[in-house]
Amino acid sequence: MTIILGIDPGSRITGYGVIRQTGRKLQYLGSGCIRTSEKELPGRLKQIYAGVSEIITQFNPDVFAIEQVFMSKNADSALKLGQARGSAIVAAVNADLPVHEYAARLIKQAVVGTGGADKAQVQHMVQQMLVLPAKPQADAADALGVAICHANTNKTLVALAGKATSARRGRYR
């Protein structure tokens, strides 16, 4: 059993999603958004750090997964996003959590089946995969998608490691 905290970083709204992975089964534990109220960036970064730290304390995850920064035409926005990611990552590192980063296209591929999926498609598939009564808010759905991506990537790596071991023993199937 592994509890995975997924983060969709943003300087104004940071989504979070927590799932439990038991074998192939994924179970929804919680999700939401950290909405910053400060006008100045340093205050927003402090709120992100405090919010992620509180979520870590509440859910006690085993692993932390976060979306990577994507190239933006607006350099200022990309820098702010990078700083928001940094605040969340520092909270995870301070809690001694392993940190895993995933590209947005890989996350969408893992959840929807195509790297070019839009937010509505991600929301729909997250709702279906986790058997939620309603679609989660967009940023929370993206964060749950990050957690699902980590769970699926981790399952694949474990399966591949097992195949490699079997192949070395002459029992590759």
- The annotation status of 139 as a binding-site residue, yes or no, is yes
- The annotation status of 8 as a binding-site residue, yes or no, is yes
Say how far apart CA 49 and CA 28 lie, in whole Å.
23
- The annotation status of 54 as a binding-site residue, yes or no, is no
Q: What is the residue type of 138?
A: A
Catalytic residue, from 67, 76, 101, 118: name it: 67
The answer to whether residue 76 is catalytic is no
Number of other CB atoms surrounding residue 133 within 10 Å: 5
Catalytic residue, from 54, 101, 118, 139: name it: 139
The answer to whether residue 142 is catalytic is no
Q: Which residues contact 40 (CB under 8 A, 6 or more apart)?
A: none
Residue 130 — φ and ψ, nearest 5°?
-100, 5
The answer to whether residue 139 is catalytic is yes
Say how far apart CA 42 and CA 11 lie, in whole Å.
10
**Binding positions for Mg(2+):** 8, 67, 139
Residues designated as active site: 8, 67, 139
**Binding positions:** 8, 67, 139
